[in-house]
Chains A and B, each alone.
Chain A
Amino acid sequence: MSAAEAQPQGIDLTKIPLPQLQSVRQQMEEEFQHLMSSYASLKQAQVKYRDGHDALTVFTEKNRDAPILVPMTNSLYVPGKLSSVDKVIVDVGTGYYMEKEIGEAKDFYLRKSDFLRGNLEKLQATIVQRQDQLKAISEVMSYRMTLAQKQQQAGQAVA
Chain B
Amino acid sequence: MPSKLEQEIQTEVEKFQKLQQDYNKLIVSRSQLESQLSENRMVADEFKRMKPDSDASIFKLVGPVLVKQETVEATSNVNKRIEFITNEIKRLDGAIAESTKTQEAAKAAIGKLQQMYQAQMGGPAAGQA
- By size class, the interface of chain A is 10 to 19
Q: Which residues of A contact B59 (CB under 8 A)?
A: 89, 96-99
In the complex the two chains form, is A94's CB within 8 Å of B56's CB? no
Q: Which residues of A contact B50 (CB under 8 A)?
A: 98
Interface stretch (choices B11-19, B36-44, B107-115): B36-44
Q: Which residues of A contact B47 (CB under 8 A)?
A: 98
Interface residue from B46, B57, B66, B81 paired with A92 (Cβ < 8 Å): B46
Question: CA of A87 to CA of B54 in the docked complex: distance in angstroms?
Answer: 12
CB distance from A27 to the nearest CB of B (A): 14
In the complex the two chains form, is A94's CB within 8 Å of B81's CB? yes
CB distance from B52 to the nearest CB of A (A): 14
Q: Which residues of B contact A98 (CB under 8 A)?
A: 46-47, 50, 56-59
Q: A100 with B40: in contact, given A92-B46, A94-B78, A108-B46 (CB under 8 Å)?
A: no
Residues of A within 8 A of B (CB): 87, 89, 92-101, 108
Interface pairs A-B: 4 shortest CB-CB: A97-B59, A95-B61, A99-B56, A92-B46
Interface digits, B46-68 against A, CB 8 Å rule (1 contact, 0 not)?
Answer: 11001000001111111000100
23 contacts between A and B (CB under 8 A): A87-B56, A89-B59, A89-B66, A92-B42, A93-B39, A93-B42, A94-B40, A94-B78, A95-B60, A95-B62, A96-B43, A96-B58, A96-B59, A96-B60, A97-B59, A97-B60, A97-B61, A97-B66, A98-B46, A98-B57, A99-B57, A99-B59, A101-B56
